[in-house]
Amino acid sequence: MKLALVFGGNSYEHEISIVSAIALKKVIKKELLFIFLDEGGEFWLIDAANMKSTYFAKREYKKAKQLYLQKDGFFTKGFFGFSALEKVCVVNLAHGGDGEDGRLASMFDFYGVPYVGPRTEVCVMSFNKLYTKSLGLICGVKTLEHKTIFKKERDAKIDLSYPVIIKPSRLGSSIGVSVVKSQKELDYALDVAFEFDDAVIVEPFIENVREFNVAGAKIKGEIVCSNIEEPQKEGYLDFEKKYMDFSRTGEVEAAGIDEALGARLKEAFAKIYDFGFDGAIIRCDFFVVDGEVYLNEVNPIPGSLANYLFADFNHLLDGVTRSLPHPRRIKVDYKYINDIKSAKGKL
């Protein structure tokens, strides 16, 4: 069965998703199909030769063959009706809205399409940074103290010492993120964040904090972790630095940490993954403060699927596609209705 990268979507990270798909085209050794989801919710089958950023920026994809998602897969529409595309296993590569908020996962499950990616329940918990705090608590992984401010109550006081970091609650790639060093900088930072979301997370900004990234997946019941990366940064990883991550294809150097810390980071990753991320390749970003591991974020669809953290990404991806969870199918036999009908007559 071929793999089909589904990318794009109605999201602030729409263009980032395109970059990820182009990067993975160079990495994945199997024959691929490319399915673009535009911001209007329409699917398009993209020829591999057209997988260039300008092709999408110029809207040339509208000349491609349109696809329709139905039971068991994607279909094309012709003069004599719908024709099934070949069977594929989808790789959900739509960052942000549609892909990470659970909409595509729900559609794939509903129509019985096999896919690599987070399932609906964990999308909900990881897409919203506020819920991710609860996820860490449930899994026994510490998170930094925080405050949530909603747009309708933006005058609420921040009971945290400056500097703080402001993040839109439901957005990735460091879009809308600001470091605030004083009260006079707060209003502008909130204005920026509220452009993208109606809720923001406020956390302490810890200067020179050590940050570590761990990716992984479950194959045949066993969690396989990537190399641990300690990203190089100044202040925090802003949009420009993260944007470059989405196009990375070469394996990065493993962090120079001792075995004990590496084991604790991987243990924290496993606790998060076991919450229900089966079938997905995810990346968790952790802080280490005074020797304690704190969950910063869960990336349910990381940039380029964090291929650069694995020594053999193709082997990992192949293992995941062979270990996908199967949704429970309930047999409806109408026994209840038939029993009532037999007992009481016409119903």
pLDDT per residue as tens digits for the range 194-217: 888 888 889 888 888 999 999 999
pLDDT per residue as tens digits for the range 250-276: 678 788 899 999 999 999 999 999 999
pLDDT per residue as tens digits for the range 119-142: 999 999 999 898 999 999 999 999
Residues 211 and 308 in one domain: yes
pLDDT per residue as tens digits for the range 165-200: 999 887 766 778 889 888 888 888 888 888 888 888
Helix (H) / strand (E) element for 36: namely strand 32-37
Evaluate if residue 238 carries a pLDDT over 60: no
Query: Which domain CATH number covers 195?
Result: 3.30.1490.20
Structural domain count of the chain: 3
pLDDT per residue as tens digits for the range 37-62: 999 999 999 999 999 999 999 999 99
Residues 136 and 242 in one domain: yes
Query: Which domain CATH number covers 94?
Result: 3.40.50.20
Q: What is the domain extent for residue 309?
A: 128-141+207-321
Range list of H helices, the chain: 14-27, 53-57, 103-111, 120-127, 129-139, 183-194, 239-245, 259-273, 313-321, 335-344
Residue at 306: amino acid letter? A
Residues 254 and 301 in one domain: yes
Residues 68 and 132 in one domain: no
Residues 59 and 174 in one domain: no
Question: Is residue 328 domain-resident?
Answer: no
Residues 137 and 252 in one domain: yes
Residues 211 and 314 in one domain: yes
Q: Position of tokens 């082997």? A: 315
Residues 198 and 272 in one domain: no
| Euclidean distance between CA atoms 114 and 101, whole angstroms | 18
